[in-house]
Amino acid sequence: MEELLADGGVIRKLWIADADQYREHLLRLDGESRRNRFGGTIADDVVIAYADGSLRAGAVLHGFVVDGILRGVAELRPLGGPLSRQAEAAFSIEKPWQSHGVGSALLERTLLAARNRGIKLVHMACLADNTRMQELARKFEAELSFDFGGVVGEVEAPHPTPLSIFRELVADGHSFATAVLDAQSRLLRPE
Ligand SMILES: CC(C)(COP(=O)(O)OP(=O)(O)OC[C@H]1O[C@@H](n2cnc3c(N)ncnc32)[C@H](O)[C@@H]1OP(=O)(O)O)[C@@H](O)C(=O)NCCC(=O)NCCS
């Protein structure tokens, strides 16, 4: 179920214990990627405050991990109350790992998570000149509908099914096993 991605990286869900790794990942983004991720130029202390609060309950984060280091993240963050059934998705991939299919894999997992949580609309905040993000979203056009309207893309997630829930459970199980191996290999590695 879980495929190996660029440079042997894997995708797994992130938890509160990953907050430090998330902060470091966001701070490593180059200027252009940071601007695209946050929709404008923001200072380090704002990035730090954002990362520290981002793994709160309700948000679903998937990470792309290479050799134990977080190199990409997709966030799915509920918008409005529980009845709104809307969420915002945001992506950040460090430059050396961009254009290797990581964003596509993260979006696929994010949409599966959205579907299984009954989310009907996923807004993708995206600057108008961010063609790569728009191309990425369009790859899912066959099963989902988009209306970028300049800056925001909306994805209509279909209903959850027993199979879609099973797919998420299987993906998480495999990712968890991979994460444990990853942690063990870091413990065994000489400093
Ligand atoms: C935007 C982003 C998430 C895309 O992820 P990615 O891993 O680089 O994208 P992928 O390799 O999966 O490519 C997705 C599609 O984008 C297009 N694409 C890839 N590289 C491209 C490039 N250099 N220029 C234009 N389009 C490109 C292709 O259509 C590609 O699909 P294909 O490989 O099937 O042809 C990633 O580049 C990123 O994090 N950028 C910085 C932050 C950002 O822009 N976030 C989005 C706003 S929240």
Separation of CA 184 and ligand 1 centre (Å):
31
Q: Are 167 and 189 in contact (CB under 8 A)?
A: no
User: Quick count: other Cβ atoms within 10 Å of Cβ 48?
Assistant: 14
CA-nearest residue for atom 31, ligand 1, is 136
Separation of CA 137 and ligand 1 centre (Å):
9
pTM of the model: 0.86
Q: What is the pLDDT along the chain (191 residues), one digit of tens a residue?
A: 455 677 789 999 999 899 999 999 999 999 999 999 998 899 999 999 999 888 876 799 999 999 999 999 999 998 887 788 888 889 999 999 999 999 999 999 998 898 888 888 888 878 888 889 888 888 877 655 565 554 556 677 677 887 788 788 888 876 655 555 555 554 555 44
Bridge pairing between strands 121-125 and 86-93: parallel
d(CA 141, CA 21) in angstroms, rounded, equals 32
